[in-house]
Structure 1
Amino acid sequence: MNFSNDQPPNANNRQKKRLLVVDEQTKGSQAQKNQPWSKIEKAVETVDENKRSVTEKKHNSARHARELRTVLWMLVGVTTLSVVWALSTQIEIQSERTIAMTGQLMTRSNVKEMQIPENKVVKAVFVKEGESVNKGQSLVEFDAVVSYEKLQFLENQRQSLVTQNQFYRFSLEKIVSMTRVEEAILQLKLSREAAFLVRNRAALLAANQQLQARLLENSTAGSGEDGKTATLGKTNSQDNSQEALASIAIAQLQEKLAQYQTQLEESEDRLTVAQKKLNKIEPLVKVGAVARSQYSEQQQIVRSQKVELKRLRAERERLQLTLDRATEQIVETPVVVRNESPKPTVDFQKQIADNKKQITEIDTQLTKIIVENDRQIAELDRQIARLQGNSNSFILKAPVAGTVSQVMASPGFGLGSDRTKTLLKLNSDDRHLIVDVLIPQEDLGSIQEGMKADLKIDALSLARLGNLHGTIISVGSDALPPDAIHHYYGIPAKISLDKQSLVIDDKEVPLRSGMSVTATVTVSQKQSFWQAMWQKLLGADELISD
């Protein structure tokens, strides 16, 4: 084995130590050489750190500023929203303030006003002014407006026919003067045919009376002075007969003239309607909305109506002229007859017979009218009975006992403007107490009808009485000046009591009129939050100023 290169372990350790020392020396020398550069690097690092810290501070400051602005805008927004909400939102605030009013107990009679129901009309009234009635007693009977109006129409029509028949029968049995005939025509509103018949009948009867008188005078006529007197009587009798016949002719002319006048008015109405229709169509024809043939047809209708109207006017003028001449002849005939010599004797018997024949024909026609009216009356009676059987009538009864006053109701009440009026008033026998108070003028806006009020009888202890309540039932509109009881301007009001008596020492004691009362009302109102705060501030300022 060759051990020349082998060294002992200690030698190796020594060699390693030498190598380490050499390395350290080498590093030390190198460190000495590199020491200036290290200082430079440290300085650069220090500068970089300072820059980084400055940058970080700037970033932090900007972030803090942004956060601060955000917080400020949030505060501004919340404040703005709060102010808007406070100005717009209504908050109901229960006021602790009470309004005190003074007054006294007064007796009040309950007056009930009876009004007419909807779509009803008074059929009958069972009470009169000042009558005392009991509760449940019948006051007024109503019927439906439509049923009542139809019933009244039928009854009026029936009564008109009955009255006309009475006049016709009276005319057939007795002699009626022309004056009474004309009055009946106007009052009974007779038809033209019936008016013509009764006029002619009265005129013919008058003429026959005159003719019979002349016959009697002729039979008793003598000679000499008596003969002259008889001749004069004949002349006068003849004049009267001619006047009667002329009156008949005039009546006939008047009847025809009235007929033509009616036809003329109807023709004028038809012409007006046709002309309006033509004027309405004319602009439509120009734009093509209506056929020209229809326009031509309407023009032809208008022309025909004008021709008819012209014819009726001419006929009316002719009849009027004839009537005027006949009237003049009646006036002039007596004068002419007196100046003329006596005319030959006329066949009075024949004239009387002819007149009687005409009277018989007139009586036949009047009898037909009477029969037709009787038939219509029977039919109306059936309709009235059927309508009364199906009537929707009901009876208004007194709700309380009392006295009737201011009765305005009567059969037919409730038609037209009567619907807004009171039928009658019922003063109740049950009288009760109310409180008349005076509201201070400055508190008028806070008091309304229907509000509850706490009441205190000034002469009695509240502890013994307990609570007494009421309700405001009316508030006046005009202020009253101060008086001996109320020393301020105020508005009158009335308060109804919840009870009409009090319990004192387990005994019921009725309240009496004239007792002095103090009423208090608690007022609640809605106001905005801003208004509430403003009032609080004003109150604080007043406190400070005081």
Structure 2
Amino acid sequence: MTDKKLPSADSNKFKVWEGSSVFVSQGRHWSSAFIWLSAGLLGVTVIFAFSSKIDQTVSVRGKLSPSGSVQDIESPSSGVVLDVFASDGDFVEAGDILLTVESKSLSSRLSEINEKIQLLSLEISGLKDIIESGGKPSLFKPLPPLPTGIDDAQLVSRMLTARNQVNQIRSELIKVDIRLQSKSSSLNYQTQITNDLKPLYDNGAMARNAYLDQINRLQENKAEFSTLVTERSRIVGSVSSRVNSLNQQLLSLRTQLTSVNEQIGYRNVKAPVSGRVFNLMASPYSVVSSSEKLLTIVPSNNLQALVEIPNSDIGFIKVGQAVSVSVDSFPSGEFGYIRGSLISIGSDALPPDQDSPQRYFPGTVKLVQQSVVSGDTSLNLQSGMSITANIKLRSRPTISILTDIFTRQLDGVKRFR
């Protein structure tokens, strides 16, 4: 008969669940390890929260723009576009001819000015000869012949009219000179008679009244001679005034002629700066008006980002802060960010507009690179592309995230009524 073994003292710590063959045992070292692990994690978290830093950034919207100003090219005058030598997107160098504008109005204006200059020069030439002669016909020089080979009958007629005016003045002076010669002879004759009668009058051989009548006739001749001399001087003076007036007109016409020639020279519209052509609105044989916008040239200077900083975020933003720029056309997940720095901030907030519903400060970001790269592919940036700029304000302890939450909650309680 086999004796049954009695259970040992160690077996008392296990109990059998009825209907189950599973034995469960829970050791005390698991709870202790869990407590220490939790405490360690909490300590590490607290240390990390106080020692580690996170970057505080502000995201603002903007667009790419050339560092130089965009040039709007306008038509120098009204006319017809003859040739266009550039297309949208073409790169042009400064001084390249973009298009040619033919102005009929300028051509007719140039012809009109030249005709007036010819007329005035012809008249001035004839009048100057009168002034230089002092109004004496004996010193008149022959008038130069009229220009030949002029097909414009109206211009020829106006030249003849100007020549006739000079001849008319000469005729007046000739008549005055004839009368002066006659009065001079008469004056000499009367003077001689008076001189001959004076001894007779002095010796009493001649009546007083007869002698005084002779003296009166002499004085009348002198007065008439003096009047004719004055008339000749008056005519010469009026001619001199006329020449001064014509010279002023001639000077004005020559100034206009220079201006018109310059405008005609500008009919070849040239690029003022190097860059790309955009918004080309002119085409061959199209009619344009003076100062009408024909195209736009975007300078080839490096691009920069123009950003709009909200009024609520301007407090910690300063010139020189680092900026990471994401171009909307090139997803940052594939092409990454473009590094840059804030180089300028507006001194005052600008009022809201269609793009920005609130007041904002304009800012400028200088970009480190002018293209984005994905693998072996490099894509150039273009003016006008919209961007998002992340401006790095400062580094803060990680714990500040939690303290900010509590601070906002506390401020909410203070404002609660």
TM-score normalised to the size of structure 2? 0.32
Structure with greater helix percent: 1
**Radius of gyration: which is bigger?**
1
